[in-house]
Structure 1
Amino acid sequence: MGFTFDDSNFDATPIAEMHQLIEQYPRNQERIFPYIGGEEVNSSPTHAHDRYAINFGDMSQTEAREWSDLMAIVEEKVKSERMKQKDRGGQEKWWQFLRPRSEMNRAIESLDWALVVARHQPQWSVALMPSNIVFSEALVVFALNQYPAFCTIQSRIHELWARFFGSSMKDDLRYTPSDCFHTFPFPANWETNRELESIGQEYYEFRAALMIRNDQGLTATYNRFHDPEEDDADILKLRQLHTQMDTAVLTAYGWTDISTTCEFRLDYEDEEPSDTQPTEGKRQRKKPWRYRWPEATHDEVLARLLELNQQRHEAEILGGEQAKKKAGKSKAKGATKKLKGVTMEKQLNLIPPDVEQLDMF
Structure 2
Amino acid sequence: LAQDARNAECLFPYLNGEDLNSHPQQQPSRWVICFHDWSPERARAYPDLLRIVEERVRPERERLTGPGDKRNREFWWQFGAYRMELRKAIAPLQKVLIRSRVSEMHSLVFVPKGLVYSEQTIVFAFDDDYHFALLQSALHETWLRKQASSLRTDIRYTPTDCFDTFPFPPAEYAAPSLAGLLAQPPFARAAQIGAAYHERRRQVMLARELGLTKTYNLFHNPACQDEDIQRLRQLHAEMDNAILACYGWQDLDLKHDFYQNERGQTRFMPSAAARREVMFRLMELNQKMGE
Q: Please tell me the TM-score bracket, short chain as reference.
A: over 0.9
Residue 130 of structure 1: which of 112, 115, 126 is its match? 112
Residue 117 (str. 1) matches residue 94 (str. 2): no
Runs of 4+ aligned structure 1 residues displaced above 6 Å come to none
- For 1:23, the equivalent position in structure 2 comes to 2
- For 1:107, the equivalent position in structure 2 comes to 89
Deviation at 1:311, TM superposition (A): 1.4
TM-score by length of 1: 0.75
- For 2:223, the equivalent position in structure 1 comes to 229
- For 1:142, the equivalent position in structure 2 comes to 124
Instruction: Give the letter for the 2:7 counterpart.
Output: N
Contact 2:19–2:26, Cα closer than 8 Å, also in 1 = yes
Q: Deviations over 1:248-295 (max 9, x none)?
A: 00000000011122121222567xxxxxxxxxxxxxxxxx21112111
Measure, in 2, the Cα distance between the counterparts of 1:200 and 1:293.
18
- For 1:35, the equivalent position in structure 2 comes to 14
Unpaired runs of 5+ residues, structure 2, are: 173-177
- For 2:197, the equivalent position in structure 1 comes to 203
Deviation at 1:221, TM superposition (A): 0.6
- For 2:175, the equivalent position in structure 1 comes to none
Find the residue that maps to 1:24 and give its secondary structure: coil
1:143-292 aligned at under 5 Å gives the runs 143-190=125-172, 191=178, 192=182, 193-268=187-262, 288-292=265-269
Residue 90 (str. 1) matches residue 72 (str. 2): yes
Instruction: Give the letter for the 2:270 counterpart.
Output: W
Question: What number of residue pairs does the alignment pair up?
Answer: 276
Instruction: Give the letter for the 1:237 counterpart.
Output: R
Q: Deviations over 1:296-354 (max 9, x none)?
A: 1011011000001111222xxxxxxxxxxxxxxxxxxxxxxxxxxxxxxxxxxxxxxxx
Contact 2:169–2:246, Cα closer than 8 Å, also in 1 = yes
Contact 2:190–2:239, Cα closer than 8 Å, also in 1 = yes
Return closer, same or farther for 1:29/1:202 CA change in 2, 3 Å cut-off.
Answer: same
Residue 295 of structure 1: which of 260, 264, 272 is its match? 272
- For 1:75, the equivalent position in structure 2 comes to 54
Measure, in 2, the Cα distance between the counterparts of 1:32 and 1:129.
18
Find the residue that maps to 2:96 and give its secondary structure: strand
Which structure has the larger Rg? 1
Measure, in 1, the Cα distance between the counterparts of 2:230 and 2:156.
27
Measure, in 2, the Cα distance between the counterparts of 1:103 and 1:189.
26
Residue 59 of structure 1: which of 14, 38, 42 is its match? 38
Q: Deviations over 1:83-114 (max 9, x none)?
A: 11121111110000112122212211222211
Measure, in 2, the Cα distance between the counterparts of 1:138 and 1:300.
32
Farther-moved stretch of structure 1 (293-302 vs 154-163): 293-302
Q: Deviations over 1:33-85 (max 9, x none)?
A: 00011111111110011100000000000011101110010011111111111
Measure, in 2, the Cα distance between the counterparts of 1:254 and 1:33.
43
Measure, in 1, the Cα distance between the counterparts of 2:194 and 2:171.
15
Find the residue that maps to 2:2 and give its secondary structure: helix
Q: Deviations over 1:111-166 (max 9, x none)?
A: 22111110111111001111101000110011111100000000000000000111
Instruction: Give the letter for the 2:207 counterpart.
Output: R
Residue 311 of structure 1: which of 277, 284, 288 is its match? 288
Instruction: Give the letter for the 1:112 counterpart.
Output: Q
- For 1:275, the equivalent position in structure 2 comes to none
- For 1:342, the equivalent position in structure 2 comes to none
Find the residue that maps to 1:205 and give its secondary structure: helix
Instruction: Give the letter for the 2:132 counterpart.
Output: F
Unpaired runs of 5+ residues, structure 1, are: 1-21, 271-287, 315-361
Deviation at 1:197, TM superposition (A): 1.3
Farther-moved stretch of structure 1 (97-106 vs 70-79): 97-106
What RMSD in Å do the two structures reach over aligned CA positions?
A: 1.2
Return closer, same or farther for 1:268/1:194 CA change in 2, 3 Å cut-off.
Answer: closer
Measure, in 1, the Cα distance between the counterparts of 2:243 and 2:273.
18
